Amino acid sequence: MSKRRKKGKSKGLIIFLVIAVLLLLVVAVVGKKQGWIGEEDKMKVTVEDVQQIDITERVSATGKIYPEVEVKISPDVSGEIIELTVEEGDSVKKGQLLAKITPDIYNSVVNRAQASVSSARAGVANAQAQKAQIKANYDNAVVVHGRNQQLYDKGIISLSDLEASKTQLATSKAQMDAAGQGINSAKYNVSSTEAALKEANDQLKKTEIYAPMTGVISMLAVKEGERVVGTAQMQGTEMMRIADYGKMETRVEVGENDIIRVSIGDTAEIEVDAYLNNTFKGVVTKISNSADNGSGMSQMSNNQVTNFTVMVRLIKSSYADISKKNNVPFRPGMSCSVDIITENSGKTISVPIQSVTTRNVNKNKEGASKADDELKEVVFTYDGGKVKMFEVVTGIQDDKYIQITKGLTKNQRVITAPYKAISRELEDDQEVTEVDEKDLYSKKSKFGKPKS
């Protein structure tokens, strides 16, 4: 009885072992197909075809809208505003009267200057009359001296009488020359007083302020009855501003790393916060030559921010529809964001930005020295389960793709993820497994789930 029991137990153990082996084989086959067994050591990657697409390089910046031409009006003379003919928002034409400053003091100055001119002209007339009298005396002295010379030659008068007439002639000549200089001095005095009169009249005219250009009163800072300080005395009082709303521009700040890509004439796309879902066109008209660091060197030392101001003119035709509803669609100080289009590649070989990394291509080469230790831009391609590292030359890029100018062809496929593998872990000729992006970070993946 015991022998039969032992024999039965042996048969059962054999059957159990056979079933276990079969189960293991099934699990191995299924696991192989599902990637559970045998391929766990292979890195999983996502792959994308090299594409030929248009790449548009942009420089993005934010800023505000201002009139392209805005003139600040300050008086040349000081005084009280006795008349103000405009209000903020009024349209004005060039030469239109804007304001008057009390002219009483300047009228007095003009009157004094006019009196000085009259006095100086009278002085000229007096000097000319004196010269005429002196010339008559001189002519008489010439006649007397000539007659005395004849009498002396005949021995009628003495030498002393002749010398006396000669002295009188010389004196008359000197007096006549001095009278001529007196006339010139009087004339110079007239010119000086006339200049003073002209200056006084100019000051008087400046008590009336006229529009230097056609536009709109964009700001009015004074009221009738207020006193203002002229620009002849320090900075002067800013009374108002006139802006040409027909030409508007955005002034944006572009960082030093991007400013070298921006050129005058570049087109731009402008979005204004006040007009949602509207994109306006613009063109770069001016780029500042020096950096604008806000409050000065202190800000630069703290934040290390260096920006340059770029002016982008709004193309009027791009907001023509809005102008029909509103005569002044844009007001100074409106916020906006600008995308400056710096370059367009046309149809070009491109890959996703994350596919490009930098590697030391000579690191594993035999005989490579430290002098060869140089980082190069590379891309990893996928072909038949293996990766191949290619050194490439890149061009412009947008927010998704980067241009490859040398190193790839359109028939190749490139590895796009995970970036950790592309940047550090992948090696030339390494075997990998291609998966969909949704499966790349699954629990069984070597990389696990990406951090949110």
* 101 has pLDDT over 60: yes
Spatial distance between the Cα atoms of 261 and 247, rounded to a whole number of angstroms: 25
pLDDT band, residue 8 (cuts 50/70/90): low
Helix, strand, or coil here: 311?
Answer: strand
* 1 has pLDDT over 90: no
CB 101 within 8 A of CB 232: no
Burial of 271 (0-12, 13-18, 19+ CB in 10 A): middle
Tokens of 116: 């000085």
Q: What is the pLDDT of residues 271-323, one digit of tens each?
A: 999 998 899 999 999 999 888 765 443 344 445 678 899 999 999 999 988 88
Spatial distance between the Cα atoms of 359 and 426, rounded to a whole number of angstroms: 10
Hey, which residues does 249 pair with through a beta bridge? 66, 313
What are the E-state strand segments in 211-302?
215-220, 227-228, 240-243, 248-255, 267-272, 280-287
Look at residues 184, 1, 179, 209 and name the one whose alpha carbon lies nearest to residue 86. Answer: 209
- Domains of the chain, each with CATH number or no CATH: 43-55+349-440 (2.40.420.20), 74-102+207-242 (2.40.50.100), 105-205 (1.10.287.1700), 248-344 (2.40.30.170)
Residue type at 59 in one-letter notation: V
- Give the per-residue pLDDT at 94: 94
CB 247 within 8 A of CB 309: no
* 450 has pLDDT over 50: no
Q: How far is CA 4 from the centre of its chain?
A: 103
Provide Rg for the chain, Cα atoms.
48
Q: What is the pLDDT of residues 185-217, one digit of tens each?
A: 888 988 999 999 999 899 899 999 999 999 999
Spatial neighbors of 37 by CB under 8 A, at least 6 apart, are 28, 31
Helix, strand, or coil here: 162?
Answer: helix
pLDDT band, residue 451 (cuts 50/70/90): very low
Q: What is the pLDDT of residues 46-78, one digit of tens each?
A: 888 888 888 888 899 999 999 999 999 999 889
From 20-34, 48-62, 243-257, 369-383, the region with the lowest mean pLDDT? 20-34
- Give the per-residue pLDDT at 280: 94
Average pLDDT over residues 416-425: 85
Average pLDDT over residues 24-42: 61
What CA–CA distances, in Å, run from 158 to 141, 152, 165, 338? Answer: 18, 6, 11, 107
Q: What is the pLDDT of residues 147-180, one digit of tens each?
A: 888 888 888 888 888 888 888 888 888 988 888 8
Mean pLDDT of the chain: 83
* 444 has pLDDT over 60: no
